[in-house]
Amino acid sequence: MNLFAAAPATSLRVAIVVSRFNHLVSVRLLEGATAELARRGVAAADVDVAWVPGAFEIPQTARALADTRRYDAIIALGVVIRGGTPHFEYVCRGVTDGVREVMRDTGVPVAFGVLTTDDVEQAFERAGGEHGNKGRDAAQVAVEMAHLLPALRERPRRPTSRPALRPSRCSTAWPRTSTCTRARSRSRRSSCAARWPRATRSTRESAHTRATGGSSAWPRSIATCCGSPSTSSCTATRPRRW
């Protein structure tokens, strides 16, 4: 098992995008995030804060900051409280989808610290109340991801050992004929052909003439000389096959 140890955050540059809407809650989230960054060793000069009108503008600002390539991580802070209209669902979906697209397209980690609550009391409970401070939690996520992603990109892969190829049984039992072997076979066949020349048609006709007593013509059939193919007293000699 390979574990990635946490490195000090002294060399990190972090940007924070904060929504101005529901300002009292957003300020507490920002205080929790900056306090956690300072506790982990991030210098105050390396932390930039960008205020935006509302939570819906957080993704666009986060993308602009990520495109500069000056920051190791970005923290998104804000609060969206449910009201009497469907406006809450549209804003929450736009913020979450936009932040996800920023991380996917730029590769810069964006810690999600936007609260989505049913009322104001739930928002204060999660901004320094009994449920902790989600701004501090987002700062912890930003520092951890800022160290983890570069380590994953730079970690070398282990070399994989490939098994040696075994020769097949067919290639061992019947080795492939080499060029020298084929050349010797062709020379052996050519010497045999020179020693035993193939009989030509004139050679076969002269041999037949000697066998039939001087007639070099081939009989068309037995009936021309005997009158009947079944006559046993036929004196014609059947031509020999060569």
69: containing domain: 14-153
Helix (H, G, I), strand (E, B) or coil at 113: strand
Whether 2 is in a domain gets the answer no
What is the C-alpha radius of gyration for the chain, rounded to an integer number of angstroms?
49
Whether 218 is covered by a domain: the verdict is: no
Say yes or no to pLDDT of 200 above 90.
Answer: no
CA distance 75 to 186: 82
pLDDT in tens, 46-104: 999 999 999 999 999 999 999 999 999 999 999 999 998 999 999 999 999 999 999 99
The whole-number pLDDT of residue 153 equals 80
- Residue 174: which pLDDT band, with cuts at 50, 70 and 90? low
Q: Do residues 98 and 60 make contact, with C-beta atoms less than 8 angstroms apart?
A: yes
Residue 93 belongs to domain with CATH number: 3.40.50.960
- Give the predicted TM-score (pTM) of the model: 0.63
Q: Tell me what percent of the residues of the chain surpass a pLDDT of 90.
A: 56
Residue 203 within a domain: no
Q: Which two tokens mark 83?
A: 């009201």
- pLDDT for the residue 222: 44
C-alpha 7: how far from chain center: 31
Separation between Cα atoms, residue 145 and residue 151, nearest integer Å: 10
Domain membership of residue 235 (yes or no) is no
* Residue 218 scores a pLDDT above 60: no
How many independent structural domains does the chain possess? 1
Point out the catalytic residue in the list 23, 87, 131, 208: 87
Per-residue pLDDT of 135-158, as tens digits, reads 999 999 999 999 999 888 875 666
Please say if 87 is a catalytic residue.
yes
Any domain includes 32: yes
What residues are paired with 77 via a beta bridge? 18, 113
Q: Is residue 142 part of a domain?
A: yes
In a domain? residue 55: yes
Instruction: Read off the tokens for 168.
Output: 């097949």
With a CB cutoff of 8 Å and minimum separation 6, the contacts of 197 are: none
How far is the CA of 119 from the CAs of 22, 25, 29, 126, in angstroms? 12, 12, 17, 12
| Nearest by Cα to 208 from 196, 218, 223 | 218
> Does 26 map to a domain?
yes
